[in-house]
């Protein structure tokens, strides 16, 4: 999503690319983003893309956010994923009271993370919530100073319901030191993200330090905070998929230019069937990118103009994000197939691209269920679209 003048953080991201490529194997072995690399990325401003300008953040446009995350993910999908989670979690800053937001996000090197899914329980207790539970998929949590965790609100023993009948849920924001981090990240793909569990056991969280992206309204103005929050998260996931697929194509070009099939004098790149498949996959990737760019631009235009984004526009954005993720998982599988036996070995980036691409498909905001949700809207059927 290139623009005439790129965001300054894009240049900082480009400078990190050689190190991100070089340390991909290290990250997989450690199953997390190394602390020193997380610090370097924070110093480059990568975790402040969504932080409001009023708090010293960059308040970047969605197109700029996608371009930066995709560039990082082309080098190393796990690193891009950690930036995506840290950056999008900072959306909370726009919803918090200014003094509380400044306490958390005023530090230019702060890294935040957490889990939106309401896997916990928050019992109302005066000005606080008493929060307990265990949350999965806490990407990059070991490097965070603050975490957030989605929880269902209870008044005593009674679950609080919204007018729609859905449970009332809010994100609880708390210092990472109050959480027990659990070493549970033993997975197939995105191994370097450190997306293990964490547990809370009855901690107190001030109600003023909680947000709901469903029922609350942002306190900060501007197009970024009028942009659909779940659309922005989906866009981040799609950006990682887009960058990872671009990296897979680049990695295969390197392999195909040097590798010869057994008994053949031609490199893979000199074989007509490989040339045709490479062209087809490149076109597939560019088409998905163009589709995503179009929907992002259309949604951004509405967000900047009046901020009242109709559900049809939000659904269109979500479809483009899901399409990007699903198409590029297929692309990475095809590239892996073309790599032949060489792609199977652990030192081949193609097997990592394949694994990472399919791990990305498991995120709830771009999972296959998104097709059903947006399909209902296309048929004008009654739909709870709060999370579109």
- Provide the pLDDT for residue 3: 46
Q: Do the domain assignments include residue 219?
A: no
Placement of tokens 């984004």 in the chain:
309
Tens of pLDDT, residue by residue over 73-107, are 999 999 999 999 999 999 999 999 999 999 999 99
- What span, in angstroms and rounded, lies between the C-alpha atoms of 213 and 150? 11
pLDDT of residue 10: 96
Contacts of 327 (CB under 8 A, 6+ apart): 284, 285, 288
The rounded distance, in Å, linking the Cα atoms of 348 and 70 is: 21
Question: Which of 158, 185, 211 is the endpoint of a domain?
Answer: 211
Same domain, 128 and 182: yes
Domain that holds residue 120: 112-211
Supply 372's token pair: 């059903």
Assess whether 237 and 261 both reside in one domain. yes
90 lies in the same domain as 116 = no
385 sits in which H/E element: none
Each as own residue / partner, the long-range contacts of residues 260-265 (CB below 8 Å, 24 or more positions apart, any chain) are 261/340
Q: Are residues 123 and 169 in the same domain?
A: yes
Name residues whose C-beta falls within 8 Å of residue 78's C-beta, 6 or more positions apart in sequence. 24, 27, 28, 33, 190, 191, 192, 193, 356
Determine the Cα–Cα distance for residues 185 and 182; give it in Å rounded to an integer: 8
How far apart, in Å, do the first and last CA atoms of the chain sit? 23
Question: What separation in angstroms does the CA of 88 have from each of 3, 263, 272, 308?
Answer: 21, 50, 43, 21
- The answer on 159 and 79 residing in a single domain is no
Q: 136 and 50, same structural domain? A: no
CA dihedral 68, 74, 78, 79 (to 10 degrees): -40
Residue 236 and residue 202 in one domain: no
Give the residue carrying structure tokens 């995506």.
84
CATH of the domain at 54: 1.10.540.10
Dig out the tokens for 376 from the structure: 């209902």
Please list the ranges in the chain whose pLDDT falls under 50: 1-3
Is 152 a domain residue? yes
Can you tell me the distance from the alpha carbon of 87 to that of 36, in angstroms, rounded to the nearest whole number? 18
Residues 63 and 171 in one domain: no
73 and 125, same domain (yes or no): no
DSSP class of 109 = T
> What is the DSSP code (8-state) at residue 160?
P
Residue 387, domain member (yes or no): no
Q: Using one digit for the tens of pLDDT, what is the confidence trace for 273-331? A: 999 999 999 999 999 999 999 999 999 999 999 878 999 999 999 999 999 999 999 99
- Domains: count for the chain: 3
Assess whether 231 and 359 both reside in one domain. Answer: yes
Which CATH number fits the domain that encloses residue 183? Answer: 2.40.110.10
Task: Write down the pLDDT at residue 47.
Answer: 98
278/168 Cα distance (integer angstroms): 49
């Amino acid at each position: 999503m290139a623009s005439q003048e790129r965001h300054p953080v894009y240049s900082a991201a480009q400078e990190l690319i050689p190190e991100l490529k070089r340390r991909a194997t290290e990250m997989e072995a450690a199953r997390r983003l190394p602390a020193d690399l997380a610090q370097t990325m924070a110093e480059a401003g990568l975790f402040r893309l969504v932080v409001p300008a009023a708090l010293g953040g960059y308040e970047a446009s969605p197109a700029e956010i996608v371009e930066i995350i995709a560039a990082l993910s082309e080098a190393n999908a796990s690193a891009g994923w950690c930036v995506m989670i840290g950056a999008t979690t900072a959306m909370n800053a726009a919803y918090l009271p200014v003094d509380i937001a400044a306490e958390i996000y005023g530090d230019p090197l702060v890294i935040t993370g957490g889990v939106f899914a309401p896997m916990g329980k928050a019992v109302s207790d005066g000005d606080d919530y008493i929060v307990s539970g265990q949350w999965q998929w806490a990407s990059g949590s070991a490097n965070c100073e603050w975490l957030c965790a989605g929880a269902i609100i209870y008044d005593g023993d009674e679950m609080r319901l919204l007018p729609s009948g859905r449970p009332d849920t809010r994100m609880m924001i708390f210092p990472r030191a109050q959480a027990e981090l659990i070493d549970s990240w033993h997975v197939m793909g995105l191994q370097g993200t450190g997306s293990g569990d964490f547990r809370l056991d009855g901690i107190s969280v001030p109600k003023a330090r909680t947000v709901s992206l469903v029922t609350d309204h942002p306190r900060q103005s501007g197009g970024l905070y009028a942009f659909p929050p779940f659309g922005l998260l989906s866009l981040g996931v799609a950006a990682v998929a887009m960058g990872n697929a671009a990296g897979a194509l680049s990695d295969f070009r390197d392999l195909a230019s040097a590798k010869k099939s057994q008994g053949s004098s031609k490199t893979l790149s000199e074989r007509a069937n490989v040339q045709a498949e490479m062209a087809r996959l490149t076109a597939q990737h560019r088409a998905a990118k163009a589709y995503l760019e179009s929907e992002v631009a259309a949604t951004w235009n509405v967000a900047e103009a009046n901020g009242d984004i109709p559900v049809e526009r939000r659904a269109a954005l979500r479809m483009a994000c899901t399409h990007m993720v699903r198409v590029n998982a297929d692309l990475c599988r095809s590239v892996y197939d073309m790599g032949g036996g060489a792609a199977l070995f652990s030192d081949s980036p193609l097997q990592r691209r394949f694994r990472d691409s399919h791990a990305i498909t498991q995120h709830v905001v771009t999972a296959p269920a998104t097709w059903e949700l947006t399909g209902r809207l296309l048929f004008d059927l009654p739909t709870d679209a709060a999370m579109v």
